Amino acid sequence: MGEAMLKDRTAIVGIGQTRFAKSLDEPEKTLACRAVLAALDDAGIDPSEVDALASYTMEETDEVELAKSIGAGDITFFSRTGFGGGGSCATVAHLAMAVATGQASVGVAWRSRKRGSGVRPWTNTGVQLPTPAQWTRPFGLLRPADEIAMLARRYMHEYGATRDHLFNVALACRNRANQNPAAVMYERPLTREMYMDARWISEPLCLYDNCLETDGALACVVVGAERARDCRQRPVYVHSVAQGLPAQHHGMVNYWNDDPLTGPAWTAARQLWKTADLGPQDVDTAQIYDAFTPLIPLSLEGYGFCGRGEGAAYTEGGALELGGRLPINTAGGGLSEGYVHGFNLINEGVRQLRGSSTSQVPDAATCLVTAGEGVPTSALLLRN
């Protein structure tokens, strides 16, 4: 099996992004092009060499429009992973597979969003509900925040997790954003008092348990390991990749699974570690999908950083802060840097391994990046 493995055979050699803000003037397609061109420039690769594209659903900029705008050459591989934010890491995974198997040589993944100034997807009643939603939406469960809050209350009930544990997550992300001039929440500190007094969104979740709504775009470039050594930046190797759609899963409402508190992270993690030379104990920093704070303790358990039911306690004593046991979301994450459907976590993972993060983990050599937990998901283990 060894030779067929993806392990370290490809690398991320370029990253790019636009500004993040509550509202940007330019359309999503323009933002996408800017991010992609910036990533290619970062890599020192001409856009005409791009022959693979990967994105994930809920992306409005299509492959045809992007390719002709940036001046890409013939595209020989393109993929689009389903289920929104669960597909962020799958973009890099698919490009790595395409490059490693000779289907393409220069791959670009991207995400462009106008969620800050655009409509929230759940408010768009002009769009027909997908049929799985017939079991939730007409019953009063309207928004993603409600869906995850339901799991959060059960989790708190079963394991004694508290709002202080969720605050630990929100604070770690905000503290990192406070160090990152590109973050929406730069120079905007969060206190425990602000958190505890904040308005509810879906009890037990308050305002600060929810990600930002952000306009912005990001992209990254994937090439083979040999080519990577000639690029402008230090290569960040794609060590292992995984996707996860667990048995009897039902989308973000995992309530009909035998064990609703073990979500897609558990499935992705088993595959990720199986194909890696490393384990959770070897991870220097993690960029964990944080659309909602409870996803962090659930993901810490799923990816094996602690045992079942121990994810909340893991957040205590500054464990998630810079200098702690596992610094997470070191650019601020979806909670405080910007919510660009998880793609900003990939680029921050690359910066950590280049040594160029605004919250640099000293000598970081390995980084876990995860996509949306709750939905069919994906993950990357990056190393330098």
Partner 1 sequence: MSVTGTSVTETVNAGGGLVDGLLLPWPDADGEPFWQYALRGELRVQACADCGLRRFPPRPSCPRCHSFADTWQQTSGRGRIWSFVVAHPPLLPAYAAQAPYPVAVVELDDDPAIRMVGTLTPSVRRPDAPWNAVPVSRLRIGTPVQAVYQILTPGVAVPRWALTSP
* Sign of the torsion formed by the C-alpha atoms of 266, 279, 13 and 333: positive
Largest CA distance in the chain: 56
Label residue 304 left, alpha or beta by phi (over 0 means left) and psi (-120 to 50 means alpha). left
Q: Which of residues 53-72 bind partner 1 (CB under 8 A)?
A: none
- The window from 54-62, 84-92, 140-148, 272-280 that contacts partner 1 (CB under 8 A) reads 140-148
Among 58, 142, 194, 278, binds partner 1 (CB under 8 A): 142
Residue 137 makes contact with partner 1 by CB under 8 A: yes
Residue 295 makes contact with partner 1 by CB under 8 A: no
Nearer to partner 1, 230 or 259 (CB): 259
Q: Is 314 part of the annotated catalytic residue set?
A: no
**Which position among 208, 237, 289, 303 bears the catalytic label?**
289
Q: Which of residues 152-211 bind partner 1 (CB under 8 A)?
A: 153-154, 157, 199-205
Nearer to partner 1, 122 or 186 (CB): 122
* Interface map 84-123 toward partner 1 (x if CB under 8 A): ------------------------------------x--x
Among 71, 248, 277, 316, binds partner 1 (CB under 8 A): 248
Nearest approach, Cβ of residue 260 and partner 1 (Å)? 8
- Smallest CA-to-CA distance from 118 within 17, 184, 186, 27 is with 27
Among 2, 3, 74, 131, binds partner 1 (CB under 8 A): 131
Among 25, 125, 193, 362, binds partner 1 (CB under 8 A): 125
Q: How far apart are CA 98 and CA 266, in angstroms?
A: 25
Q: How far apart are CA 368 and CA 285, in angstroms?
A: 7
**Residue 108: strand pairing partners:** 53, 221
- Smallest CA-to-CA distance from 216 within 366, 107, 331, 53 is with 331
Q: How far apart are CA 1 and CA 14, in angstroms?
A: 29
Nearer to partner 1, 116 or 235 (CB): 116
- The strand pair at 205-206 and 77-81 is best described as unpaired
Evaluate whether 45 touches 14 at the Cβ level (below 8 Å): yes
Q: How far apart are CA 229 and CA 329, in angstroms?
A: 27
- The window from 148-156, 290-298, 302-310, 365-373 that contacts partner 1 (CB under 8 A) reads 148-156
Among 79, 136, 214, 336, binds partner 1 (CB under 8 A): 136
For the record, the structure tokens of 13 come out as: 């050699």
Nearest approach, Cβ of residue 98 and partner 1 (Å)? 32
- The strand pair at 106-114 and 52-56 is best described as parallel
Q: Which of residues 325-384 bind partner 1 (CB under 8 A)?
A: none
* Sign of the torsion formed by the C-alpha atoms of 285, 290, 292 and 294: negative
Q: Of how many residues is the chain composed?
A: 384
Footprint of partner 1 on this chain (CB under 8 A)?
120, 123, 125, 128-129, 131-143, 146, 149-151, 153-154, 157, 199-205, 248, 250, 253, 255-256, 258, 260
Which amino acids are annotated catalytic? Answer: 289, 339
